[in-house]
Amino acid sequence: MNVREYIKGHEGFDKYPRKDTDGNWVLGYGHDMNSHPCPEKVAEIWLTEDLEWAEKLVREHVTVFGELSPARQTVLLDMAYNMGDRGPGRGFRSFKKFFSAVNVKDFVNAEAQILDSKYHKDLPTRCERNAMIMGRGTFEDEEYGDT
């Protein structure tokens, strides 16, 4: 038996943070999150996995995802990543009028739906940038995208 398997056997695997016997938050195989912050390479792996998850969530609601400009796809992924999947009618799933507008490529209405939301009240700067990009189809420094 190698040291990795030995420690894994003692620690067990926790996919959600929990407190150990000393009150420290641990995750994974006993990784002490208080004394050993998340390394950037681990955060990059999580981000990759989270973006794959976000794309699946977006594609459940936006049938034209593959037809949209990279900027509009980025906005959708950012929104799904940020709001998450909180179940029916909550989080990203709650944007039914927004999805309807995007699916018929009514980007003026899609932009308005973003701005008329709790998301806008909670994160105005991020939301306003996303709304503007959804409306234009490009990032601020690009020419206009798809129509």
Domains with residue ranges and CATH for the chain:
3-32 (no CATH), 40-136 (1.10.530.40)
Closest to 60 measured CA to CA, from 106, 120, 103: 103
Q: Which residue has the tokens 């690009």?
A: 142
Q: Which of 20-24, 44-48, 93-97, 121-125 is predicted least confidently?
A: 20-24
pLDDT, one tens digit per residue, over 23-75 is: 999 999 999 988 888 899 999 999 999 999 999 999 999 999 999 999 999 99
- Residue 1 to residue 142: CA distance in whole angstroms: 56
Q: Mean pLDDT highest for which of 5-19, 20-34, 99-113?
A: 99-113
Interacting residues of 145 by C-beta distance below 8 A, sequence separation 6+: 69, 70, 71, 72, 136, 137, 138
pLDDT band at 142 (very low <50, low <70, confident <90, very high): low
**Which residues, in sequence order, are bridge partners of residue 54?**
none
Tell me the chain's radius of gyration from C-alpha atoms. Answer: 20
pLDDT recorded at residue 144? 52
Rounded mean pLDDT, 13-17: 94
Residue type, 33: M
For range 9-17, the mean pLDDT = 94
Cα distance between residue 78 and residue 89, in whole Å: 18
Return the amino acid letter for 99: F
